[in-house]
Amino acid sequence: MAKLIVNNSGPLHGEVLISGAKNAVLPLMAATLLTDEVCIIDGVPDLADVKVMKGMLENFGATVKDDGHGLLEIQASEIKTVQGDRDLVTEMRASTVAMGPLLARCGKVIMPLPGGCAIGKRPIDLHLKGFKALGADVVEDYGNEQVIITAGDEGLIGDAIYLDFPSVGATENILMASTMAAGTTIIENAAKEPEIVDLANQLNKMGAKIKGAGTDTIRVTGVKKMGGSIHSVIPDRIETGTFMLAAAITRGDVLVKNALPGHVRPIIAKLKECGVEVDVVDDGIYVNARDKELIATNIKTLPYPGFPTDIQSPFMAFLTTVKGSSEVKETVFENRFMHVNELNRMGADISVENRVAYIPGGKKLHGATVRATDLRAGAAMIIAGLAAEGKTEVSDIYHIERGYEKFVEKFAGLGATLTRVED
């Protein structure tokens, strides 16, 4: 197993280029199952999760050509099976986004129960509720740990669907399933994330008729057939936030290029509250924490456009180093404080009560042997190690490699002392 060795690196400085968004590209890839025509996706990051999704598509019968420079050419001219590969599905929760397009195109899908980061319960009940509203029959086969979803004799039929929670995955799945459903589908209390808008843009290029993506009400008018498309992935807002916080925690200055400020407004606002200089410039976002008197703030995670849960752990790492006490309230996932124990190994002294973490702040972190308990917690351990005295060893880095492209190279380009070693 590989691990990352991190040493105090002083203030980071320079420019970093943000890759395509992991959370956008996976549903974009799944959407190609809706058509037998060629779909081209550009700006695809080289990530472990992308490799899993390639395997998923190939299992279903698609051909995936990768030019090695971020461009995928995908054609599912024939669907050979509607059953998800158990090993791949249990490796990555996002594999469930294949359910919607397969159901729409083939009228049936059999999906093993998903895996992914252990950050809390992420059931697919809202996905299944949406499919049922479209007229599908859903059998939850717990004995074989799978769900069997079958469209009615007349195919999927559009309907009004209210989501009890604005789930990103459920919104994506229902959106794709409804593209070829008869009539009109209205998704209420839909997720508003930029990744939803990106998916809708690609689907519209493929011939779908979708309006309202990015709002809480999305209207889909079904079409008979979907076609090919050419689409570029949006920049990764979570990677953007990670490098913004890396600049802040090391008291450095970094230009984060290919970043969309509108996608990270809550992060910009909270960093400014802490005293960090954040400027939107022509080619990205400039973050400067050099010689700043940084102070504490409180954060509360919320669905978009609120503060992103995926940035909670890196922001908490930063808050351990500023003056004053902070509170971090997690409202999206019930088990997203596993990184607290790891930060405490480094001297953070954080306490947790229910879903609130209390951070005393003003701590001088020290190096330690820690784990990446999930994808974003892994990034938090790295940036904490950059600011800590001594050496930090981070294990279980396969989590990090699921979601960050050229992680070591990008940090090294900013002056970080970060090495990947085989254990």
- Note the pLDDT tens digit of each residue in 161-195: 999 999 999 999 999 999 999 999 999 999 999 99
CB-CB contact of 289 with 251 (8 Å): yes
Could you tell me the CATH number of the domain that includes residue 72? 3.65.10.10
**Among residues 155, 188, 222, which one ends one of the domains?**
222
Does residue 343 share a domain with residue 263? Answer: yes
pLDDT in tens, 281-303: 999 999 999 999 999 999 999 99
Residue 123 labeled ligand binder? yes
Residue 315 is encoded by which pair of tokens? Answer: 């922001």
Question: Is residue 233 a known part of a binding site?
Answer: no
Position of tokens 């995928």?
A: 72
365 is in an annotated binding site: no
333 and 346 together in one domain: yes
Sign of dihedral through CA atoms 383, 384, 387, 393?
A: negative
User: Which of 222, 255, 286 is at the close of a domain?
Assistant: 222
Residue 125 known to bind ligand? yes
Q: With respect to residue 229, please indicate whether it lies within any of the assigned structural domains.
A: no
Are residues 251 and 397 part of one domain?
yes
186 and 288, same domain (yes or no):
no
Q: Do residues 15 and 26 both lie within one domain?
A: no
Q: Could you tell me whether strands 369-371 and 391-395 are parallel, antiparallel, or unpaired per DSSP bridges?
A: parallel
pLDDT in tens, 195-239: 999 999 999 999 999 999 999 999 999 999 999 999 999 999 999
Same domain? For 199 and 296 the reply is: no
Side-chain half-sphere CA neighbours of 330 within 13 A: 24
Domain assignment present for 228: no
pLDDT band per the 50, 70, 90 thresholds, residue 123: confident
pLDDT at 249: 98
Calculate the alpha carbon distances from 126 to 174, 187, 189 in Å.
9, 12, 12
Summarised one tens digit per residue, pLDDT across range 326-361 is 999 999 987 789 999 999 999 999 999 999 999 999
pLDDT of 119 > 80? The answer is no
Would you say residue 347 lies in a domain? yes
Q: Mean pLDDT across the stretch 369-388?
A: 96
Residue 156 is predicted with a pLDDT of: 98
> Which of 165, 192, 222 represents a domain boundary (last residue)?
222
The whole domain housing 187 covers: 22-222
Distance CA 242, CA 38 (A): 34
What's the pTM value of the predicted model, to 2 decimals? 0.95
Phi, psi of 73 (to 5 degrees): -115, 115
Residue 322 lies in a domain: yes
23 is in an annotated binding site: yes
| Annotated binding-site residue? 352 | no
Looking at the fold, whether 158 and 216 belong to one and the same domain comes out as yes
Start-to-end C-alpha separation, the chain: 5
| Among the listed residues 111, 126, 137, 193, the one whose alpha carbon sits nearest the alpha carbon of residue 163 | 126
Nearest Cα residue to 301 out of 356, 375, 246: 356
Confidence at 116, pLDDT banded by 50, 70, 90: very low
The CB density around residue 334, as the number of other CB atoms within 10 Å, is 12
Cβ distance 336 to 312 under 8 Å?
yes
pLDDT digits over 237-260, tens only? 999 999 999 999 999 999 999 999
Is 190 part of any domain?
A: yes
Task: Count up the domains in the chain and report the number.
Answer: 2
Tell me, yes or no, whether 335 and 213 share the same domain. no
In a domain, 230, yes or no: no
User: Is residue 275 domain-shared with residue 385, that is, in the same domain?
Assistant: yes
Q: Mind telling me the catalytic residues?
A: 117
Together in a domain, 402 and 263: yes
Tell whether residue 197 is among the known ligand binding residues.
no
Residue at 403 is within a domain? yes
Tell me if 345 is assigned to a ligand binding site.
no
Q: Residue 117's pLDDT band (boundaries 50, 70, 90)?
A: very low
User: Based on the domain organization, do 152 and 130 belong to the same domain?
Assistant: yes
Shared domain for 199 and 172, answered yes or no, is yes
B/e letters for 21-56, b = 16+ CB within 10 Å, e = fewer, are bbbbbbbbbbbbbbbbbbbbbebbbebbbbbbbbbb
In a domain, 227, yes or no: no
